[in-house]
Amino acid sequence: MIKLQVTNETGRLRAVVLGIANQNGPTPKAEEAYDPKSLEHVLAGTYPVESDMVFEISAFHDVLERYGIKVYRPELIPDLNQIFSRDIGFVIDHYFIKANILPDRAEEWRAIEHIVKQIEPENFIEAPQEVHIEGGDVIIWNEYLFVGTYKGDDYSAINTARTNIKGVQFLKDMFPHKIVKEFDLIKSMTNPRENALHLDCCFQPIGKDKAIIYPGGFRNPTDYLYLRKLFGGENIFTITPDEMYEMYSNVFSISENVVVTERRFDRLNYWLRDQGFHVEEVPYHEIGKQEGLLRCSTLPLYRD
């Protein structure tokens, strides 16, 4: 059986599900795009090709294996985008929560069922259908659960709004010992520079006490101030709108000291090294054209 343990974003990683890019399907039509950044690249003719995405995710896989991490992969379902495994499930403490994702993506769950079947049934939680949660909106930080959501009246009309208030309440009910703090995120169906698809698109903790944050990702400025007070201004790397667009906050921690980043993130990578982190740079720019990056591609199962 697979043991589960995730209590924060930076504990030493031992087991993870990593998405796959093989037989990813044709370039979507404009009306099939799930997010404004994918739409932008579809319309521009710059949507990533499969061979580039396979190369990039293989480079990430090689780094994980070099650190002795057990890497699980989804079963291949032809003509299905299976890169972003973070969205379809997530682990909190010793529990695996099945996410309620967009109906068009439900088939992605079938691809990891062979992994989920190796989890003790009492450690598996499935949210009610009206509860919407995606893993990119859930950030675990010791006694805190940070949850991205969207509180606008037009929630049901915006497909970039992925976690609803019922999702936040569900986590509060399931984990009463945690401090569950929700963040109302900016959403756009048309402008990728004004769309925080998930919380990890504008915020992520790293190391023991640091964070990468895009202040403009929050509809309420007090949410950013909450994080600034919690982490301390001197411990925050503040990203620009362009850096948010490039997914600077969507890096991935192997441990408190090791962070995997995109190799083009020059300003961030310099800062991380200056703070004492070991930075593993990988090519991930093409995958990033789908408004997801390194954290989005992973579903951690066990961290020390």
Tens of pLDDT, residue by residue over 63-78, are 999 999 999 999 999 9
Tens of pLDDT, residue by residue over 160-202, are 678 999 999 999 999 999 999 999 998 887 777 888 789 999 9
Strand, coil or helix: 14: strand
Q: In what order do the strands lie in the sheet with 70-72?
A: 70-72, 13-18, 298-303
Separation between Cα atoms, residue 197 and residue 189, nearest integer Å? 10
Q: Would residue 64 count as lying in a domain?
A: yes
Choose the most confident range, by mean pLDDT, from 149-163, 178-192, 267-281: 267-281
Integer CA distances (angstroms), 274 to 102, 203, 279, in order: 40, 20, 10
CATH number, domain at 299? 3.75.10.10
Q: Would residue 283 count as lying in a domain?
A: no
Q: Would residue 157 count as lying in a domain?
A: yes
Whether residue 60 is predicted with pLDDT greater than 80 in this model: the reply is yes
Domain that residue 187 falls in: 13-200+288-303
Q: Would residue 239 count as lying in a domain?
A: no
Total number of domains in the chain: 1
Q: Would residue 212 count as lying in a domain?
A: no
AA letter at 29: K
Separation between Cα atoms, residue 119 and residue 125, nearest integer Å? 11
AA letter at 15: A
Q: Would residue 100 count as lying in a domain?
A: yes
Q: Would residue 86 count as lying in a domain?
A: yes
pLDDT at 149: 94
Q: Would residue 161 count as lying in a domain?
A: yes
Separation between Cα atoms, residue 304 and residue 296, nearest integer Å? 21
Report the predicted TM-score, pTM, of the whole model to 2 decimal places: 0.94
Find all residues with CB under 8 Å of 122, minimum gap 6, and list them: none
